[in-house]
Amino acid sequence: MSLFKSLLLAILATLLLTYMFGYSVMQFFDIDIYMNHQVVEPLKAISVSALIAVIVVLVAVAIIVSVFGSIIFVGMLVFGCIIMAVIGVFWPIFLMALIIWLIARDKKSHRSHA
């Protein structure tokens, strides 16, 4: 599953769960939210909390991707440096092995007689 698809599913799940549980909790405990001495509708109150939850999820995904992405990038750089150093040191041996293999290989072709 791609990162973008996973992120969209996580945002959708966060919105739905926040709405379902938030509305249930507000109704069960009879909670009213006031703003400027007016009662805020439950849907608006839950929407604000869901928006905050989505922002927190996006920030968490950005942090996780950047940290693990950096670790993977550094690991790949170290691995690439080791491989290039090995090739740089042993290239004459690899070249001689290639030449010997080209000279000593079996040159017969295996054709089926039909």
Q: Write the DSSP string, 65-110.
A: HHHHHHHHHHHHHHHHHHHHHHHHHHHHHHHHHHHHHHHHS-----
Number of structural domains in the chain: 1
Q: Is 109 inside any structural domain?
A: no
Q: Is 113 inside any structural domain?
A: no
Domain of 74 in residue numbering reads as 3-104
Question: 10-residue block means of pLDDT along the chain (114 residues)?
Answer: 76 75 72 76 68 77 83 91 90 91 79 56
Can you read off the two tokens belonging to residue 108? 């017969």
Q: Is 11 inside any structural domain?
A: yes
Q: Is 50 inside any structural domain?
A: yes
Is the CB of residue 58 less than 8 Å from the CB of residue 35?
A: no
Enter the pTM of the model: 0.42
Can you read off the two tokens belonging to residue 31? 């909670």
Q: Is 93 inside any structural domain?
A: yes
Sequence-separated (6 or more) residues with CB below 8 Å from residue 14: 50, 53, 54, 57
Q: Is 69 inside any structural domain?
A: yes
